[in-house]
A and B are shown apart, each in its own frame.
Chain A
């Protein structure tokens, strides 16, 4: 494997880890809605997805979950499965919607943000087994649309300015 590629993917992984940790320190106040996050780590994941591809992105995404969990909340507890499910759902759907080429990177980012929420809710439903937890789903989804817009826009700017001489496997 190309050394430059290994280095860049590693940098993106560290960026994703740092963004996750920094973000968990920023409380977001929006009424009394619990557990909101901007999802900045998704910027690093999207850059890898668009510059390299799905395999590399899933590697960065899952490694990030493992490392952040080891550092902060521990492995294989509910918080871990919550994050893992959100990350996998989000990336798989971003990959599929990127493939069908209907949406720009911003639309794909919104899809990712929404499926991140849905992936988490599914694990939450399996764990708590109480449908009342769906109460916050609509407002969190509205919030997801805007965070998806934001992270999509940031990713777009980064990818446009990413070193021009590396091979891109996609058009934005």
Chain B
């Protein structure tokens, strides 16, 4: 590793680490939003008891389990099943991406939540 390699790594980390800290520095939220492409197709109140939902993805039905403050994908049609292996998410801005199904699930931030009240 020469000097410019070290400078490269330092610059990259200086940009990325603060972004990471900001993303993790947020309070809780109780709203999950499910998108197909850029369209909101489902809003789930996470304060309710856990319950299953089904939405239509690009490859077929995507089964979602949500409630008690968290949400996860239970079943979907894809080659690698990355999004159903991911498990629960519960923090604001946290996201589940079912790429082959064009489904994106995110937990809304508090400001977005307020706007829906």
Segment among A57-65, A86-94, A106-114 that sits at the interface with chain B: A106-114
Contact A135 B93 (CB under 8 A): yes
Contact of B13 among A34, A136, A142 (CB under 8 A): A142
Closest A residue to B24 by beta carbon equals A139
Contact A127 B95 (CB under 8 A): no
Contact of B16 with A by CB under 8 A:
yes
Closest B residue to A24 by beta carbon equals B80
| Distance A102 CA – B1 CA, assembled complex (angstroms) | 11
Q: List 23 A-B contacts (CB under 8 A).
A: A27-B85, A32-B87, A34-B85, A34-B86, A35-B80, A74-B79, A82-B99, A104-B4, A106-B5, A107-B2, A107-B5, A111-B8, A124-B97, A124-B99, A128-B37, A128-B99, A130-B35, A130-B38, A133-B99, A138-B20, A142-B20, A145-B12, A149-B1
| Distance A103 CA – B6 CA, assembled complex (angstroms) | 9
| Chain A interface residues (CB < 8 Å from chain B) | 27, 32, 34-35, 72-74, 77-79, 82, 102-104, 106-107, 110-111, 114, 124, 127-130, 132-133, 135-136, 138-139, 141-142, 145, 149
Contact of A35 among B1, B12, B82 (CB under 8 A): B82
Contact B86 A141 (CB under 8 A): no
Contact of B79 among A27, A79, A124, A142 (CB under 8 A): A79
Contact of B100 among A32, A79, A130, A133 (CB under 8 A): A79
A145 and B38 in contact (CB under 8 A), knowing A107-B4, A135-B23?
no
- Chain A residues whose CB sits within 8 angstroms of the CB of B74 once the complex forms: none
B68-114 interface (Cβ within 8 A of A): 79-80, 82-83, 85-89, 93-97, 99-100, 102, 104, 106
Main secondary structure of the interface of A (DSSP, over half): helix
| Distance A135 CA – B22 CA, assembled complex (angstroms) | 12
- Chain B residues whose CB sits within 8 angstroms of the CB of A130 once the complex forms: 35, 37-38, 102, 104
Contact B5 A79 (CB under 8 A): no
Interface size on B, residues (CB 8 A): 35
| Distance A78 CA – B8 CA, assembled complex (angstroms) | 32
Contact with A along B8-48 (1 / 0, CB 8 A): 11001100110110010000000000010110000000000
- Chain B residues whose CB sits within 8 angstroms of the CB of A27 once the complex forms: 85
Q: How far is the CB of A54 from chain B (nearest CB, A)?
A: 21
Q: How far is the CB of B83 from chain A (nearest CB, A)?
A: 7
Q: List 10 additional A-B contacts (Cβ < 8 Å) besides A35-B82, A130-B104.
A: A34-B97, A78-B100, A103-B4, A110-B5, A111-B8, A124-B97, A124-B99, A130-B102, A142-B16, A145-B12
- Chain B residues whose CB sits within 8 angstroms of the CB of A79 once the complex forms: 79-80, 100
Contact of A133 among B8, B17, B97 (CB under 8 A): B97
Q: How far is the CB of B117 from chain A (nearest CB, A)?
A: 21
